[in-house]
């Protein structure tokens, strides 16, 4: 059993920048297996290592089961080939049950490494591009609510406060994204 508990909204590890992977070893490959199995168990489109309590720059994605776009990236760096944007619903396994329209870039070119240390590049659009941006944000301690403005953010915070899993003893910290 390699499905791991997913850290929730007020867990401090979700706000810490993750460290680059240095050793491409069996432990890293086990981490990627754990991430993939946890993502599938929770019906997620993607998952980043900090979400299962590991502060390393590793993410997995599977935004469209039908298209078979299952993959992983180690030490990802995301570039945008153009200015095109998309706006649509986004959610996060660390903020269960909350979905709000979030503006993202439409197209990404993500460079990183495989579990064996081989360089890899992923060119993605639409949901795959959204997923890679969301998961890479996690590696920088950024949550998707940081990308949501004004009324949308207020609705999101209200929804979190009403959520059954939210602990009022540890209120949410909402910060403004440094990336806009």
- Catalytic (active-site) positions: 135
- Residue 7 or 24: the one with the smaller Cβ distance to Ni ion is 7
Residue 118 C-beta: closest distance to Ni ion, Å:
26
| CB count in 10 Å sphere of residue 133 | 24
Q: State the nearest-atom distance from the C-beta of 94 to Ni ion, in Å.
A: 5
Least Å distance between CB 14 and Ni ion? 9
Q: Rounded distance, CA 86 to CA 101, Å?
A: 10
Return the number of the residue (21 or 92) whose C-beta is nearest Ni ion.
Answer: 92
Within residues 48-107, the interface with Ni ion by CB under 5 A covers 92
Looking up tokens 């469209």, which residue turns up?
64
Tokens of 64: 């469209």
- Nearest to Ni ion of 8, 82 (CB atom): 8
Radius of gyration of the chain (CA): 16
By CB under 5 A, residue 31 contacts Ni ion? no
Q: What stretches of the chain show up as alpha helix (H) in DSSP? A: 26-41, 126-139, 150-162
* Pick from 25, 83, 95: nearest CA to 58: 25
Smaller CB separation from Ni ion, 31 or 92: 92
Cβ-proximal residues to 155 (8 Å cutoff; 6+ apart), any chain: 100
Q: Is the C-alpha dihedral spanning 57, 110, 29, 60 positive or negative? A: positive
Shortest gap between Cβ of 180 and Ni ion (angstroms)?
A: 18
Q: Which residues bind Ni ion (CB under 5 A)?
A: 92
């Amino acid at each position: 059993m390699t499905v791991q508990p997913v850290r929730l909204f007020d867990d401090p590890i979700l706000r810490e920048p993750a460290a680059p992977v240095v050793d491409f070893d069996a432990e890293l490959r086990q981490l990627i297996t754990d991430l993939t199995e946890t993502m599938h168990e929770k019906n997620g489109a993607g998952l980043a290592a900090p979400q299962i309590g590991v502060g390393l720059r590793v993410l997995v994605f599977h935004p469209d089961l039908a298209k078979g776009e299952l993959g992983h990236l180690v030490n990802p760096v995301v570039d945008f080939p153009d200015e095109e944007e998309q706006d649509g619903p986004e959610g996060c396994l660390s903020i269960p049950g909350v979905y709000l329209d979030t503006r993202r870039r439409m197209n990404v070119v993500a460079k990183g490494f495989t579990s064996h240390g081989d360089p890899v590049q992923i060119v993605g659009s639409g949901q795959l591009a959204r997923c890679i941006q969301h998961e890479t944000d996690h590696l920088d301690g950024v949550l998707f609510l940081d990308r949501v403005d004004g009324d949308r953010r207020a609705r999101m915070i209200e929804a979190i406060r009403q959520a059954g899993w939210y602990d009022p003893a540890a209120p949410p910290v909402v910060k403004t994204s440094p990336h806009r």
